[in-house]
Structure 1
Amino acid sequence: MQEKHLDKIREGKGFIAALDQSGGSTPKALAAYGVSENEYSNEEEMFDLVHEMRTRIITAPSFNSEYILGAILFEQTMDRKIEGKYTGDYLAEEKGIAPFLKVDKGLADLSNGVQKMKPIDDLDEKLERANQRGIFGTKMRSVIKEAKQDGIKEVVDQQFEIGKKIIDAGLIPIIEPEVDIHSIDKEKSEELLKQEIKKHLDELKENELVMLKLSIPTVANQYKELIEHPQVVRVVALSGGYSRDEANSKLKENDELIASFSRALSENLNASQSDEEFNAALKEAVESIYDASVVKNG
């Protein structure tokens, strides 16, 4: 199954759906979906509601392998079931979609212009469970706020250090050093980031493969060299706070860069919608993001 997923992620047409809001971002995700904080009284109820939301998305007719190559899950989603199957198994077996797991524990405080990842003290246990649950790959996020070379180097070093542990566990890591779309020196940060990533890619062995998840670059095709690198399975782009229309428009300018959108995927979905309304709204989102990933301006 893993080889089948690998071939599809590498060669297939489509995008990666990001369904991995967690911890502090879960109330925001529910609020955007039309579920206010007074509708749940504790964390357990909150996570039940967010799993209902994700189940509704994953089981929708348009959430299928014609458009979607993979889906990134939060740890609790991985450990829960959809129609009697663990979520990863449901995605793989019923939908033909590769499941990924978010493994980071959030961001550390801002230092040297960046936010590195907090320590992942249970990484080994998490990766073992991911393998038991049929997970194909992982995702972990850092954030770059300023074009400071030392800070960007620290972020990339940390990402690849943990990424190698993930590779050793038999999974494909998605390396995600996000550049804040509001950064005043975003273009410079992206140039420095590309240089640091390239250094690490060149040091990987032939059997060590990674994916990259990056902000849509200011300069179109900035990451072409990374996309073409032999150790890179695929480069995907986050929406980063752009509206779906804006993210799609910017994505189309970048050859072979595909989407891995979260908010831009679910922005028009609401708990109060009928199934017909919900499925129609999701279908519109899925098809537009697919088109932006596959049909390029050039």
Structure 2
Amino acid sequence: MNIDELKSTARAIVAAQKGVLAADESGPTIKKRLDAIKVEANEANRRRYREILFTSAGIEQYIGGVILYDETLRQSTSDGIPFAELLARRGIMPGIKVDKGVSPLALHPGEKITEGLEGLRERLLEYKQLGARFAKWRAVIEIDEHDIPTPYAIRANAHALARYAALCQEAGIVPIVEPEVLMDGSHSIERCAAVTSSVLKYVFAELDSHGVALEGILLKPNMVIPGIKCAQQATVQQVADATMHCLTSSVPAAVPGIVFLSGGQSAEDATDHLNAMNRQVAHPWQVSFSYGRALQAPVLAAWKGLEDNVALAQETFFRRCQLNGLARDGKYTRAMESDILA
């Protein structure tokens, strides 16, 4: 493990105004995205859609890393440049999703465990050869008002995250550690804060016990937000305050960056929440984004699978990246959604 290389990669991904594009949708997920715009989800269309994103002009100002899916890491542009090479040439770190999705947690109804540790060491070595500089593993934490997550489900997922992170660092790859407390349900913001805090404390205890160097990871947590069915929704400032309070008490200062997932929020809400957090007092880590739908949904709506719409789709993507870059400095406002930025 070359800790200096890991630290350098992690810092580059979350450099000033930069964040992460999560373009690591699995086959079934990207099919849902393309079905929504009535585009057949075949290999050619999946490749073309990712090419539109990765070749958009100017995005390297705001995107420090892109998480790819296994298929996408092996694909190339129309003129034969591997996507990983294309991104690296633009100063964007190529990354790879390495977990294999979730399964029911045995003897714990309603809870999940992430699979994919078997054979991970060998896969990481191949991904490194293909150009990946960082990786991502998502743990899914179900939540209700009272009973779940159980302490065992939290521990099991934290342990798997730590094993994954250790294997990544052994291979010279920066791990993005993603423990996601879901937005589904009717739980309050206070319940989300309590569960998120507990999950993060377990995760960092396991990372420490596995010898993972915190200076060479990135954390991808959920924001502290009420469940989508909760009767009492929160203001932007309430989400920012609750999230930063939780992170300040749970995340060591050695972690170079926190890259939030959007978790089903609208593009505007995800940007607004990030902006509010960066308007607060100084924090020890870079506070950034690792968005999938919150960056891509407007792009898909603009593209519609039509080559005549590619320029509009790319302009839309750049604009979304730019707005989140401004949010990293606390300089975004909702009015900018309709303004033309220079």
Residue 291 (structure 2) aligns with:
261
Q: Give the distance between the partners of 1:96 and 1:165, measured in 2 at CA.
A: 25
Residue 163 (structure 1) aligns with:
165
What is the number of equivalent residue pairs in this alignment?
Answer: 286
- Alpha-carbon deviation of 1:264? 0.8
Q: Paired residue for 1:224, among 248, 259, 279?
A: 248
Q: Paired residue for 1:211, among 215, 218, 225?
A: 218
1:135 aligns with 2:139: no
1:114 aligns with 2:120: no
Against the structure 1 CA distance between its residues 206 and 139, is the aligned structure 2 distance closer, same or farther, given a 3 Å change threshold?
A: closer
Against the structure 1 CA distance between its residues 142 and 254, is the aligned structure 2 distance closer, same or farther, given a 3 Å change threshold?
A: same
TM-score (norm 2): 0.76
Q: Give the distance between the partners of 2:120 and 2:212, measured in 1 at CA.
A: 22
- Alpha-carbon deviation of 1:205? 5.4
Residue 57 (structure 1) aligns with:
53
Against the structure 1 CA distance between its residues 118 and 198, is the aligned structure 2 distance closer, same or farther, given a 3 Å change threshold?
A: closer
Q: Give the distance between the partners of 1:7 and 1:143, measured in 2 at CA.
A: 26
Against the structure 1 CA distance between its residues 136 and 89, is the aligned structure 2 distance closer, same or farther, given a 3 Å change threshold?
A: same
- Alpha-carbon deviation of 1:6? 3.8
Q: Give the distance between the partners of 1:174 and 1:63, measured in 2 at CA.
A: 21
Q: Give the distance between the partners of 2:331 and 2:183, measured in 1 at CA.
A: 22
Q: Paired residue for 2:328, among 284, 293, 297?
A: 293
Q: Give the distance between the partners of 2:214 and 2:248, measured in 1 at CA.
A: 21
1:76 aligns with 2:99: no
Any unmatched runs of 5+ in structure 1? 41-45
CA RMSD of aligned residues (A): 2.4
Q: Give the distance between the partners of 1:278 and 1:11, measured in 2 at CA.
A: 25
Residue 234 (structure 2) aligns with:
none
- Alpha-carbon deviation of 1:227? 5.2
Residue identity over aligned pairs, in percent, reads 24
State the secondary structure of the residue aligned to 2:47. Answer: helix
Q: Contact conserved, 1:216 with 1:237, CA < 8 A, in 2?
A: yes
Q: Paired residue for 1:197, among 191, 203, 222?
A: 203
TM-score (norm 1): 0.87
State the secondary structure of the residue aligned to 1:268. Answer: helix
Q: Contact conserved, 1:172 with 1:209, CA < 8 A, in 2?
A: yes
1:96 aligns with 2:84: no
Residue 229 (structure 2) aligns with:
none
Q: Which amino acid aligns with 1:102?
A: K
- Residue deviations 1:228-251 (CA, integer Å, cap 9, x gap): 532x23211111001011111222
The farther-off stretch of 124-133 and 97-106 is 124-133
- Alpha-carbon deviation of 1:109? 1.9
Q: Contact conserved, 2:177 with 2:219, CA < 8 A, in 1?
A: yes
Structure number, greater radius of gyration? 2
Q: Which amino acid aligns with 2:32?
A: K
- Alpha-carbon deviation of 1:10? 5.0
Residue 240 (structure 1) aligns with:
263
- Alpha-carbon deviation of 1:103? 0.5
- Alpha-carbon deviation of 1:148? 2.4
Q: Give the distance between the partners of 1:161 and 1:206, measured in 2 at CA.
A: 13
1:283 aligns with 2:283: no
Q: Contact conserved, 1:216 with 1:251, CA < 8 A, in 2?
A: no
- Alpha-carbon deviation of 1:206? 4.8
Q: Give the distance between the partners of 2:81 and 2:104, measured in 1 at CA.
A: 38
Q: Give the distance between the partners of 2:214 and 2:204, measured in 1 at CA.
A: 17
- Alpha-carbon deviation of 1:11? 4.1
Q: Paired residue for 1:145, among 138, 142, 146?
A: 142
Q: Give the distance between the partners of 2:257 and 2:27, measured in 1 at CA.
A: 27
Q: Give the distance between the partners of 2:101 and 2:172, measured in 1 at CA.
A: 23
Q: Contact conserved, 2:10 with 2:257, CA < 8 A, in 1?
A: no
Q: Give the distance between the partners of 1:81 and 1:226, measured in 2 at CA.
A: 40
Q: Give the distance between the partners of 1:7 and 1:213, measured in 2 at CA.
A: 14
Q: Which amino acid aligns with 1:103?
A: V
